[in-house]
Amino acid sequence: MQITVAKLVATVIACVIAVAVIVEAKGATAHASKALGVLLPMALIWFPEEIGGFTGYFVRGHRVDAETPPFLISAAGWFLLVGVPAVVYLLQ
């Protein structure tokens, strides 16, 4: 695994989002745990080759027999990390 600029930028964005959620929750543990929501997008961005390589599992009764291209996994991570919070912010 190579550390790239995109991975470092994603880490900075995830930290900013996590801190913003904790500050918005004013320290309430129940709401501050929502900051952990950045872990899935970070995993998709940092490990797209490994996640895309999962085959042989059954999903809804169908066997996964093809690898997912890493750029699609990474794009999904960026959408979850930046796109979803942006849409939520704009709809408020």
Tell me if the pTM is above 0.75.
yes
Q: Which structural domain range is residue 36 located in?
A: 5-91
Tokens of 21: 């959620």
- Quick: pLDDT tens for 1-19: 789 999 999 999 999 988 8
Domains: count for the chain: 1
> Which residue reads 């995993």 in tokens?
43
| Position with higher pLDDT, 89 vs 40 | 40
- Residue 41 to residue 27: CA distance in whole angstroms: 23
- Residue 32 to residue 3: CA distance in whole angstroms: 28
Q: Residue 20: which pLDDT band, with cuts at 50, 70 and 90?
A: confident
Which of 56-60, 73-77, 87-91 is the least confident region?
A: 56-60
Strands (E), 18-92: 58-59, 62-63
- Quick: pLDDT tens for 30-56: 666 777 889 999 999 999 999 988 887
